[in-house]
């Protein structure tokens, strides 16, 4: 029987056991973050970089992330490649490794990424030794250019950030899974554990979840639920789902019926 004991996701020279990446935004209290990380099993945790407001006592979010996790700063706030590169370099100087999630957004309503600027930023940062995970709209040509640019993974959105609308881009993500020789990670939009499982069942390498967990009634329980769903979906993918057909195919034998005549 297949199991997950020898199933690892390799990115940037790291072998990851967990295929659930966790974002740290929107938690009602920072104290929930280490509990959610633990309950989810996540080994990759995202953070953002912002200006310090000296008048306001803020805590460094990184201190709430368990030390054994890989911290993946995002470049949120960047409106072009140059700004993304600038943020990534600053984040690396903070001393938490060289992973970065590229996020370049100019659209304020749907927060859809600028794929063109994202490719440019990926190329520059990959050449500087970053492990680059770009957040993009799912597009095969763009994903191929990201492979050429040296990305470590491709992260297509499932639905707009924070929308909890699920895997709306399924067909396009499926094409990326089939065609792209890098881990494809669904980032943004997954709202329910079943949607995470759905993505994993079709061979997605991992999912990144933030809002669905952070804004749940019980974020720690939801973190656990997503962790289980991701494992279930992954195992189902490895097990090989059966064929989908148009009409019924009886599961019980069609002979030996007890009948009147």
Q: At which residue do the structure tokens 């993009």 appear? A: 136
Among 38, 89, 144, 192, binds other proteins (CB under 8 A): 89
Residue 210 binds other proteins, judged by CB under 8 A: yes
Residue of 101, 120, 145, 170 marked catalytic: 101
Among 4, 14, 35, 48, binds other proteins (CB under 8 A): 48
Least distance (Å) from other proteins to the CB of residue 238? 28
Q: What is the DSSP string of 171-236?
A: HHHHHHHHH-SS-BEEES---SHHHHHHHHHTT-SEEEESHHHHTSSSHHHHHHHHHHHHHHHHHH
How far, in Å, CA of 90 to CA of 81, rounded? 14
Q: At which residue do the structure tokens 């094409």 appear? A: 175
- For the chain, the straight-line distance linking the first and the last C-alpha, in angstroms and rounded, comes to 44
Q: Quick count: other Cβ atoms within 10 Å of Cβ 98?
A: 16
Please give the distance of CA 151 from its chain centroid, rounded to a whole number.
15
Residue 217 binds other proteins, judged by CB under 8 A: no
Residue 107 binds other proteins, judged by CB under 8 A: no
Binders of other proteins among residues 160 to 189 (CB under 8 A) are: 161-162, 188
Q: At which residue do the structure tokens 């991701």 appear? A: 230
Residue 24 binds other proteins, judged by CB under 8 A: yes
Specify the residue, 208 or 237, whose C-beta has the smaller distance to other proteins: 208
Among 16, 33, 151, 157, binds other proteins (CB under 8 A): 33
Residue 61 binds other proteins, judged by CB under 8 A: yes
How far, in Å, CA of 128 to CA of 39, rounded? 34
Residue 156 binds other proteins, judged by CB under 8 A: no
Q: Rounded to whole angstroms, what are the CA distances from 113 to 74, 108, 218?
A: 13, 10, 30
Specify the residue, 32 or 173, whose C-beta has the smaller distance to other proteins: 32
Specify the residue, 52 or 258, whose C-beta has the smaller distance to other proteins: 52
Q: Are 100 and 130 in contact, with CB atoms under 8 Å apart?
A: yes
Among 6, 13, 15, 52, binds other proteins (CB under 8 A): 52
Least distance (Å) from other proteins to the CB of residue 58? 7
- Does the annotation mark 67 as catalytic? no
DSSP, res 247: S
Contacts to other proteins by CB under 8 A: 23-27, 30, 33, 46-54, 58, 60-63, 71, 73-74, 76, 86, 89-91, 93-96, 161-162, 188, 208, 210-211, 214
Active site residue ranges: 101
């Amino acid at each position: 029987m297949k199991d997950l004991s020898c199933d690892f996701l390799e990115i940037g020279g790291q072998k990851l056991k967990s295929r659930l990446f966790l974002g740290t935004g929107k938690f009602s209290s920072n104290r929930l973050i280490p509990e959610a990380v633990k309950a989810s099993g996540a080994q990759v945790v995202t953070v953002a970089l912002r200006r310090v407001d000296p008048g306001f006592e803020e805590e460094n979010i990184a201190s709430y992330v368990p030390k054994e996790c890989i911290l993946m700063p995002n470049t949120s706030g960047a409106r072009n490649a140059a700004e993304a590169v600038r943020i990534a370099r600053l984040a690396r100087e903070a001393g938490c490794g060289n992973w970065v999630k590229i996020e370049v957004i100019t659209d304020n309503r749907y927060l859809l990424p600028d794929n063109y600027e994202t490719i440019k930023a990926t190329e520059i940062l990959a050449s500087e030794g970053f492990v680059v995970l770009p957040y993009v709209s799912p597009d095969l040509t763009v994903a191929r250019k990201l492979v050429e640019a040296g990305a470590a993974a491709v992260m297509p959105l499932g639905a707009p950030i924070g929308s909890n609308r699920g895997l709306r881009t399924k067909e396009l993500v499926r094409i990326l899974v089939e065609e792209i020789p890098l881990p494809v990670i669904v980032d943004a939009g997954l709202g329910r554990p079943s949607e995470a499982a759905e993505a994993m069942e079709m061979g997605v390498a991992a999912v990144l979840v933030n809002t669905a967990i952070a804004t749940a009634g019980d974020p720690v329980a939801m973190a656990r639920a997503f962790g289980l769903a991701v494992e279930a979906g992954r195992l189902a993918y490895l097990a090989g789902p059966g064929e989908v057909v148009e009409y019924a195919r009886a599961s019980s034998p069609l002979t030996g019926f007890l009948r009147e005549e």
